[in-house]
Structure 1
Amino acid sequence: MFLTRFRMNTARTGARRLLSSPQVLHAAVMASFPGLLPTQTAAAPNGPRVLWRIDQNARAEVLLYVVSPEKPDLTHLVEQAGWPAAADPGNPGWQTRPYAPFLDRLAQGQRWAFRLTANPVHDIRRKPDEPRKRTAHITPVHQMGWLLDRQERCGFHVVEKPQSERLLPGGTTYRGHEHHGDRYRLTVGDRRGLAFDKARAEGKRGNRVSLVTVTFDGHLEVTDPVAMRRALAQGIGKAKAYGCGLLTLAPLDGTE
Structure 2
Amino acid sequence: MEHTETRIQTSKGKKLLHYFASKINAVVFEIISRSQLLNITVRYLHEHFSKITHAVEKVRTSFQTRMNSFLETFLVSRDYINEVESHFSSIDQSFGHSYKLGQILQSKAEEAQNKLKEVEDLSEITNILAMNASIQAARVGKEGAGFSVVAKEIRRHGVQSREIVNQASGQLHEMIDLIFQLVNILHSISNEVSSSRETVKKLLERTQESKNNADAVQEDVQSILDVFQEYDALKENLNRMIEQSAISNSEIEDMLLSFQSDLAGARRSLK
Q: TM-score, normalised by structure 2?
A: 0.13
More helix by share: 2
If asked which structure has higher relative contact order (CA below 8 Å, sep 6+), I would say: 2
Larger Rg: 2
Structure showing the higher strand proportion among its residues: 1
